[in-house]
Amino acid sequence: MNSEIKLNQLFEALKSEKTTTEISDVASWIHTAALGNATPNTNEHSIQNDSTMVDQLKGTARFYTQIDLRTWLNIRTLLATVVSAALIGSMFVLSDNDEPVQLSEPNKGSAPIVLDTTTNSENQLSKPSSSPLFLQPNLIQPLADSSSEVPLLLALENQPAIEPYVPIPSFDFSNSYQPKTETGFWKSMEDHLQVGTTFNGITSIVLVGDKCDIAVHGNSGKDVTIKYNYHLKAKGLFSRNKDGQCKLSYEINNSVLTLHVKRSNQSYNGISTLSETSTIDMQIPEGIDVRMESDLGDIAAEGLKGKTIKLHSSLGDITAQNCSGNFDLNTALGDISLNDVQGKITSNTDLGDITGERITLTEACRLTTSLGDIDVQLTNALTECRLDLSTSMGSVKVNRPELKEKSHDRLKIGTGKFNVIMNTDLGKIKVR
């Protein structure tokens, strides 16, 4: 018990002893550990006092040799706790920096200097290139001249590397290239308008014709050629404006050519008979998508080799000859004629007949009419087709060398890969 009382008195003396170790001393110790060859800069009075305390502890240990093992372990634990708390508190004091982090912008033309805390093997990654988007934060303020001493962070080998925050650069991926847009028009003078022009770099063409007959021809060139002719003849006793009765306009946007033919309603005073002619003829290279629309007029296509071929007329006939592609043919009042065509075919007329010679299918086919007949010659073998032929009032007939069959309303023949549908509400259907 006397040994324990004396030890407690010694610890009370240690507690009451005024600490003379300063923050600069602890910082100097840590720097010395980093350099590996310097002597810690300590306060001489502090070293003497600390040595005196250690000697007292050693003397006490030698004098009281009869202390049991459990008591000695308690003493060692208490000493380790006191020393650890002192070191940790000193480190917190050192790291307490109230100054805000300063962000310094790198000079133009130079890459930002990023603090490297990795080893040589880890430092094989590419460094950031020069960019004004990166700002380098000054994470550590050196205790002394940075040219003569190692930064404090480098001495803490067991601490994880601190990576400076670098803002993620933003990039504008919007396409600065704006597609070329070009517009123009022509107007009739003295009841006449003749246009001959050429367009290049076209990938798709659209024509909307108002009371206009359309003729489209395929060619092996690269340019789209347009020829338009308008003429009006009037006889009688009348007075009217002869200028600007017809207008042809165009627009090119992102290699798509759009043409508009506009004819004005005639207004005159007196008695007259009128005769108008409006025709447009186009030469179109292969591979160009075609869409032709006419409010009042016929559409004829010959020699077209395109991906998509759309021919629509509100009142007029549609003819396609020696063409290939995906066909979409439609007229409200008129006949549809297909000769030597190849591809996928969709054809419809509300009032008219559908005829075809030497049609070769590469995909599905659908031919429909509300009031009219359907008469088609297929070059495909029936084994490639799956026929579905029907009429509400009429007859259905298949007249092929390998098969002859007829019905008064419907026939379904074959299991081929090409689905062929033909339908009429009032009329006959014949497949040859």
Distance of CA 242 to CAs 189, 236, 246, 269, 342, Å?
Answer: 7, 14, 10, 13, 46
The SS3 call for residue 73 is helix
Distance of CA 188 to CAs 261, 273, 394, Å?
Answer: 11, 19, 49
Nearest to 241 by CA among 261, 271, 264: 264
State which of 69, 95, 121 marks the end of a domain: 95
User: What was the pLDDT predicted at 234?
Assistant: 75
For the chain, what is the mean pLDDT? 75
> Quick count: other Cβ atoms within 10 Å of Cβ 353?
19
Indicate whether 253 and 365 sit together in one domain: no
Indicate whether 276 and 351 sit together in one domain: no
Tell how far CA 319 is from the center of its chain. 40
**CA angle at 110 for the pair 144 and 123, rounded to the nearest 5°:** 70
User: What was the pLDDT predicted at 54?
Assistant: 47
The SS3 call for residue 374 is strand
Helix axes 2-16, 44-63, angle to 10 degrees: 170
In angstroms, the CA 246 to CA 262 distance is 6
Indicate whether 340 and 428 sit together in one domain: yes
Q: Is residue 71 part of a domain?
A: yes
In angstroms, the CA 53 to CA 60 distance is 10
pLDDT band at 240, cuts 50/70/90? low
pLDDT band at 85, cuts 50/70/90? low
Q: Is residue 169 part of a domain?
A: no
Indicate whether 184 and 300 sit together in one domain: yes
- The secondary structure of residue 175, as a DSSP letter, is -
Indicate whether 284 and 339 sit together in one domain: no
Indicate whether 196 and 294 sit together in one domain: yes
Q: pLDDT of 265-302, one tens digit each? A: 766 666 767 788 899 999 999 999 999 999 889 999 99
Tell how far CA 40 is from the center of its chain. 63
In angstroms, the CA 179 to CA 257 distance is 13
Indicate whether 199 and 258 sit together in one domain: yes
Q: Is residue 61 part of a domain?
A: yes
Indicate whether 288 and 190 sit together in one domain: yes
pTM over 0.85: no
* Greatest mean pLDDT range, 25-39, 102-116, 196-210, 230-244: 196-210
pLDDT band at 168, cuts 50/70/90? very low
* Greatest mean pLDDT range, 207-211, 241-245, 256-260, 266-270: 256-260
Structure tokens at 23: 């923050």
**CA angle at 264 for the pair 260 and 266, rounded to the nearest 5°:** 155
- The secondary structure of residue 6, as a DSSP letter, is H
Q: Which amino acid is at 326?
A: N
The SS3 call for residue 271 is strand
Nearest to 360 by CA among 380, 382, 339: 380
To the nearest whole percent, how much of the chain has pLDDT over 90? 46
Instruction: For 150-245, list the strands marked E by DSSP.
Output: 181-187, 192-199, 204-209, 213-219, 224-240
Contacts of 53 (CB under 8 A, 6+ apart): 14, 17
pLDDT band at 365, cuts 50/70/90? very high
Tell how far CA 15 is from the center of its chain. 72
Indicate whether 300 and 186 sit together in one domain: yes
**CA angle at 84 for the pair 81 and 85, rounded to the nearest 5°:** 85
Place of tokens 């071929």: 309
Q: Is residue 147 part of a domain?
A: no
State which of 32, 62, 95 marks the end of a domain: 95
User: What was the pLDDT predicted at 28?
Assistant: 65
User: What was the pLDDT predicted at 172?
Assistant: 41
Indicate whether 391 and 295 sit together in one domain: no
Indicate whether 374 and 298 sit together in one domain: no
What distance separates the 2 farthest-apart alpha carbons in the chain? Answer: 147
User: What was the pLDDT predicted at 19?
Assistant: 55
pLDDT band at 47, cuts 50/70/90? very low
Q: Is residue 149 part of a domain?
A: no
Structure tokens at 183: 């517009």
Contacts of 32 (CB under 8 A, 6+ apart): 38, 39, 40, 41
Indicate whether 89 and 12 sit together in one domain: yes
Q: Is residue 416 part of a domain?
A: yes
Inter-residue contact 394 to 371 (CB < 8 Å) = no
Q: pLDDT of 97-106, one tens digit each? A: 444 444 444 4
**Parent domain of 240:** 180-304
User: What was the pLDDT predicted at 209?
Assistant: 87
Nearest to 293 by CA among 314, 275, 309, 270: 314
Q: Is residue 15 part of a domain?
A: yes
Contacts of 27 (CB under 8 A, 6+ apart): 94, 143, 152
Using the predicted structure, report yes or no on whether residue 369 has a pLDDT greater than 70.
yes
The SS3 call for residue 147 is coil
Q: How many domains does the chain have?
A: 3
In angstroms, the CA 218 to CA 302 distance is 6
* H/E run at residue 76: helix 69-95
Instruction: Report the sign of the C-alpha dihedral through residues 315, 329, 341, 359, in that order.
Output: negative
Q: Is residue 364 part of a domain?
A: yes
Q: Which position has the higher pLDDT, 37 or 81? A: 81
State which of 304, 327, 350 marks the end of a domain: 304
In angstroms, the CA 2 to CA 402 distance is 126
The SS3 call for residue 48 is helix
**What is the average per-residue pLDDT within 39-44?**
47
